[in-house]
Amino acid sequence: MSELPRTFEETAIQMEEAIRRARDLRKSRLQLDVRVPGLDVLTLLVAVAPSFGEGWVALFPDPGAAALARKRLGEVSYAVRGLSEMRRGVEGYRAYVLIEPSAVEVETVEAIASQAGEKPFVILNSRLEEAGAVGIGLSGRRLRERFLSTLDVIYAIQPFEGGALYRCYPGKWQLWREESDGEYTLLSEFDRRPLGEDIDTAMRPASAGGGGGEGLLAGLRRFLRALGN
């Protein structure tokens, strides 16, 4: 059983392992969600990049975001482009990594996924699930829901006040409670991603014991500060 990571270095190792295991089982449409406040998504991209070697493409919501990413990343062994720039030439890449695509881009995202076939198609910190997106009608919402059902969430960390939701493929979804000393205790495991009600029910008996000490979130932030030195 994978343990909740305490540093970003451990997170990066776990993400790479989750990708490898999923690919070994011929899963191609993958989603990774690391929702830690203050964590730059480019840090996640750099962490997963070794899993795909060379000749793949990182896709950002628009050309402007892609241009900024190219400037910050410097010389890399993969292409960095905007989603709108992928209307042609999709087949030329070995893998596709999408960075924070939103619900309004779901049609483009699904088109790229379809053309990718069995090649790795990975979404980092998806925003496709966000409700109330401007410009997405009923047909778009149905497309989004149908497309989301084709994705396997293979890695996830979602800290919240008093705990964290976690998954590392092929393990189950786990709910961890933060204790007063900053350590984390495993409360429950789920076969599917738990809903808010499931989390509330599991957390309620021990809600008074929530911490606020130096747990997962603080550890990740320490690592991020170290990156900047």
Q: For the chain, what are the domain ranges? A: 8-170
Asked whether the bond before 170 is cis by omega within 30 degrees of 0, the reply is yes
Residues 136-179: pLDDT tens digits? 565 566 777 888 999 999 999 998 888 889 999 999 999 998 88
Q: How far apart are CA 95 and CA 98, in angstroms?
A: 10
Q: Indicate the DSSP class of residue 154.
A: E
3-state secondary structure of 195: coil
**What pLDDT, in 10s, does the model give residues 38-84?**
889 999 999 999 999 999 999 999 999 999 999 999 999 999 999 98
Buried b (16+ CB within 10 A) or exposed e, 182-210: bebeeebebeeebeeebbeebbeeeeeee
Strands (E), 95-212: 96-99, 121-124, 152-160, 163-168, 173-178, 184-190
Measuring CA to CA, how many Å separate 17 from each of 11, 48, 220?
Answer: 10, 10, 19
For the chain, the average pLDDT equals 84
- Token couple for 56: 């793949």
**Which residue type occupies 167?**
R
Residues 6 or more apart whose Cβ sits within 8 Å of residue 37: 159, 217
Residue 176 DSSP class? E
The kind and range of the H/E element at 64 are helix 63-73
The pTM of the full predicted model, rounded to 2 decimals, is 0.85
Q: pLDDT higher for 183 or 58?
A: 58
Query: Which CATH code for domain 8-170?
Result: 3.40.50.300
